[in-house]
A = this chain, B = another copy of it.
Amino acid sequence: MAGKEAKGADGGAKGGSNKGKKKEVKKETGLGLTNKKDENFGEWYSEVVVSGEMIEYYDISGCYVLRPWAMSIWEIMQEFFDAEIKKMKIKNCYFPLFVSPGVLEKEKDHVEGFAPEVAWVTKSGKSDLEVPIAIRPTSETVMYPYYSKWIRGHRDLPLRLNQWCNVVRWEFSNPTPFIRSREFLWQEGHTAFATKEEADAEVLDILELYRRIYEEFLAVPVIKGKKSELEKFAGGLYTTTVEAFIPNTGRGIQGATSHCLGQNFAKMFEINFENEKGEKAMVWQNSWAYTTRTIGVMIMVHGDDKGLVLPPKVAATQVIVIPVPYKDADTQGILDACAATVKTLSESGIRAEADFRDNYSPGWKYSHWEMKGIPLRIEIGPKDLANKQVRVVRRDNSAKSDIPMDSLVEKVREVLDEIQQNLFSVAKQKKEACIKVVKSWEEFLEALSQKKLILAPWCDEEEVEKSVKERTKGEMGAVKTLCSPFDQPELPEGTLCFASGKPAKKWSYWGRSY
């Protein structure tokens, strides 16, 4: 069942071995990861998602079980995002999982982008269906016939809908838990406006929410920018993105995208309205999504050789309280103090639990909860009891300190905030240390070999991007543009494109990616 594909997280460079089987033994015999993040990233990732109890491998390749420890992170992000879009008057709905072929194929560029990955239902029970039915890879073509029906006049605009659902893309390269899976969970927003200005504004409002999910919740720094013509959403006008970076592999990773679809789908699906002057006009549309990939990016960025490292804001349990009894000490007093600590923290809104299991040693529990990435550990032993204090140990930097019981809530809250901030700062420093500005092809190749996040002046020509892809393809995967950052450094007159030698038009990030 487990361990069918312990590969892929290194971005495709290496094959995998049978990790799941090893785990099953380790669960019985001890703790700790057999792979190191710096030495063998792909194997480390496959191991940490299983040992940290986020994922189980499944007997269908590219499908994974999301365990409660992962699901609770998804739910915390969902609660935030759902409330924010509701403030924006965006409403939730649910469209079917299934798409008929005629509808799926209505927008040509769009279907070309998705067709190779579409899963088809052809049978029910023992009978063949009259017509094969597709499973949604995304819902533009599912939804827009109804937008055409519902939108008649300018008073029907804007129409702003969202759905939380599963989608299926039957990918063949390197399935990786969270990062690249054949079924995944996401939200997809689909909106229609009377004017391009309104659509443009929403694209950025949503992108800002995506930035907040990454930076404020997952403590992962991202770069806001625009995708190249080659990399934009199939059938759309332009795509904005929050891009993350994995220093260990030197790969970029698309964090979430907010697309302006322009009027292309409106044309295909005849989404027209009568404007205020009584004239017929076409709507401007957006679509935007983030997925369970977010969780994988967080794991890759923060995890270490002891296991997961969860930012406090998304951890289902923020504080684990562990009793540390000694032979001749007041064991019941310690257990009571642990229970009281959990009670006090819980009542003040801090997510705390105690591990009272009597068949594991405190040491085993420390390792176990470190593997699961719990932000803060509280230890209570006889000395702590006597001194009316608790010992706290941070997961992010292993720092230990004592907190007096009478300032417990205040201090724990402070430490949790510090952990959240520190995770972000460290990740940001690491990412920034990887940024390399290059101006020539030679510098570019050198930076690439050093796993840098490459920022280069570019002529912005599609043919040049294609040629860069062609010249870099190989076992490690081709290099492409990640995004052109909104925050553009100065581009002095006469700067040339690193790849074509033509006049540069903008700065763009380049790299291999997930």
A residues within 8 Å of B by Cβ?
1-2, 24, 56, 58-60, 63-68, 71-72, 74-75, 91-100, 103, 115-126, 132-133, 135, 145-146, 149, 153, 155, 161, 165-166, 168, 170, 182-183, 185, 357, 359
Contact = CB atoms under 8 A, between A and B. Distances in A.
B166 A97 contact: yes
A136 B17 CA distance: 29
Contact of A98 (B24, B63, B92, B98): B63
A432 to B, nearest CB: 35
Contact of A115 (B67, B91, B125): B125
Given A96-B64, A103-B59, A122 B124 contact: no
Given A60-B98, A122-B122, A93 B67 contact: yes
Contacts of A66: 93-95
Contact of A146 (B56, B74, B115): B56
A64 B97 CA distance: 10
Contacts of A125: 115-118, 170
A123 B182 CA distance: 13
Nearest to A172: B124
Contacts of A119: 121, 123-124
Tell me what chain A mostly uses at the interface: helix, strand, loop, or mixed.
mixed
B91 A72 contact: yes
Most buried by B among A121, A135, A168: A121
Nearest to A182: B98
A91 B67 CA distance: 9
Contacts of A183: 96-98
A66 B124 CA distance: 23
Given A1-B145, A71-B91, 20 more contacts: A1-B149, A56-B146, A59-B103, A60-B96, A65-B93, A65-B94, A65-B146, A68-B93, A68-B161, A72-B91, A74-B94, A94-B185, A98-B183, A116-B125, A116-B126, A117-B125, A120-B123, A120-B124, A153-B359, A155-B357
A187 to B, nearest CB: 13
Contact of A135 (B65, B75, B121): B121
A92 B72 CA distance: 7
A360 to B, nearest CB: 9
Contacts of A74: 94
Contacts of A65: 93-96, 146
A496 B93 CA distance: 51
A358 to B, nearest CB: 9
Contacts of A93: 65-68, 71
Most buried by B among A1, A93, A153: A93
Nearest to A161: B68
B56 A149 contact: yes
Nearest to A143: B65
A60 B121 contact: no
A103 B146 CA distance: 38
A63 B96 contact: yes
A63 B405 CA distance: 58
